[in-house]
Amino acid sequence: MNKEKGEVVLPGDEIATSEEYIAGAGTYEEDGKIISSQVGTVEYNDDELIVSTKPLNPVVEIERGDIVLGVVTMVRDTMVVIDIKKVEGKDREIAGDTSGTIHVSKASQAYVKDLKKEFKIGDYVRAKVIQAKPSVQLTTGYPEYGVVKALCSKCRGPMVRKGTMVYCPNCERTETRKISSMYGKMRDI
Ligand SMILES: [Zn+2]
């Protein structure tokens, strides 16, 4: 039976028969069968009756200078831990360890006394990678970096920016954050 469009195949997997289709990129023909030569997804061109495979997206390595988007998973006295979800401009899955830390000295342009007033668990943060190895270190010490979506610490609902603070319309409360100039402007979150 033929593999379906979009199905993931491994090298050596039979995709279709050469009676029906021509072997395209990422495939070869053997004994009347079209076989995948790589790990990829199946593509059919039904106009030209070509079957091919497209390699699965390679994973992204986090590099120094990258701008990342992540979620706060822990806030300590001297550092914040971020689970990095995305590298800007690289729309692929991230390889390896996805956690990064922001040291208190790199959190803001201004002096930060208490990180718990700048970040809360569940907040989305946009940050820049200042070190990629052996551990990922981030900075939010520029206006464009910091919290881009804050969750209310009472009801966990999304908060709106109000000047230099964030406000929960649900609870009618304000909270402080290290707010990014991109607050509320990011797509996909
Ligand atoms: Zn609330």
Inform me whether the pLDDT recorded for 58 exceeds 70: no
How far apart are the CA of 120 and the centre of ligand 1, in A? Answer: 13
Residues of the chain with CATH 2.40.50.100: 8-55
How far apart are the CA of 160 and the centre of ligand 1, in A? Answer: 11
Residue 17's pLDDT is what?
96
* Domain range 8-55, CATH class: mainly beta
Q: What is the mean pLDDT of the segment spanning 68-85?
A: 95
How far apart are the CA of 164 and the centre of ligand 1, in A? Answer: 18
Among 40-54, 86-100, 130-144, 150-164, the range scoring the smallest mean pLDDT is: 86-100
Q: Which long-range contacts (CB under 8 A, 24 or more apart) does 6-11 make?
A: 6/41, 6/42, 7/41, 7/42, 8/39, 8/40, 8/41, 8/56, 9/36, 9/39, 9/40, 9/41, 9/42, 9/53, 10/36, 10/39, 11/36, 11/37, 11/38, 11/39
How far apart are the CA of 128 and the centre of ligand 1, in A? Answer: 29
How far apart are the CA of 95 and the centre of ligand 1, in A? Answer: 35
How far apart are the CA of 3 and the centre of ligand 1, in A? Answer: 49
How far apart are the CA of 156 and the centre of ligand 1, in A? Answer: 6
How far apart are the CA of 170 and the centre of ligand 1, in A? Answer: 5
pLDDT band at 147 (very low <50, low <70, confident <90, very high): very high
Distance separating alpha carbons of residues 73 and 153, to the nearest angstrom: 14
How far apart are the CA of 155 and the centre of ligand 1, in A? Answer: 4
How far apart are the CA of 169 and the centre of ligand 1, in A? Answer: 7
User: Which of helix, strand or coil describes residue 105?
Assistant: helix
Tokens found for residue 30? 């053997």
Q: To the nearest whole percent, how much of the chain has pLDDT over 70?
A: 98
Task: Give the fold, CATH level 3, of 67-176.
Answer: OB fold (Dihydrolipoamide Acetyltransferase, E2P) (2.40.50)
Distance separating alpha carbons of residues 27 and 42, to the nearest angstrom: 10
How far apart are the CA of 152 and the centre of ligand 1, in A? Answer: 5
Q: What is the mean pLDDT of the segment spanning 74-88?
A: 94
Residues of the chain with CATH 2.40.50.140: 67-176
